[in-house]
Amino acid sequence: MTSSAGTVHLAVYDTFADWETGHTTAHLAQNGYTVRTVGLSREPVTTMGGLRIQPDLSLDELRAQDSALLILTGAAEWDTGDGLAPFARAARGFLDAGVPVAAICGATAGLAREGLLDDRAHTSAVSFYLAATGYAGGARYVDTDAVTDGGLITAGPTEPVAFAREVFARLGVYDAKKLDAWYRLFHDSDASAYEVLQGE
């Protein structure tokens, strides 16, 4: 069953970095989105934390017009070959179709290799990590927690809360006041922000 807010697609693959999208997917689901997992195939994958995930659909079944957002997380496989390159190509298709893409950690290197960061402001773990891909976008690198440039969101591996903040802003999940409160609560442990989130 599809929710009224739409469907968000989460790419899953072996060595998927479990912790990087927990805030993002949990709060999207709580705000009316359906989260569906996408694998290279429908065969189960094993995350970095040892969890087995059965993808809801395979990458060749994924269509940008059926999605509100594609999320790509880090994984060791982004740096050990071209096995995940099909997800970077899918990201190109999403961006070309005007559907946003959010990439964190190693997935940013995959997008760099695909040429998707050459002309967009972006961030990652550190600038030299992306420079090692040989991409042409070094001048557009921003040393900050997370960056949104049009339809593309990027973040480094230590910034899952900032990553979620950018996703929520791009999709309009919270208004500006609640978004600031959400970030202060989950990033800064600011208990006073809870009242704002509860609408008090």
Known catalytic residues?
105
Q: CA–CA separation, 189 vs 155, rounded Å? A: 20
**CA nearest to 74, candidates 111, 43, 40, 30:** 111
Two structure tokens written together for 1:
């069953």
**CA nearest to 179, candidates 192, 170, 169:** 169
Amino acid identity of residue 42, one-letter, is R
Residues making up the chain, counted from first to last: 200
Q: CA–CA separation, 17 vs 109, rounded Å? A: 14
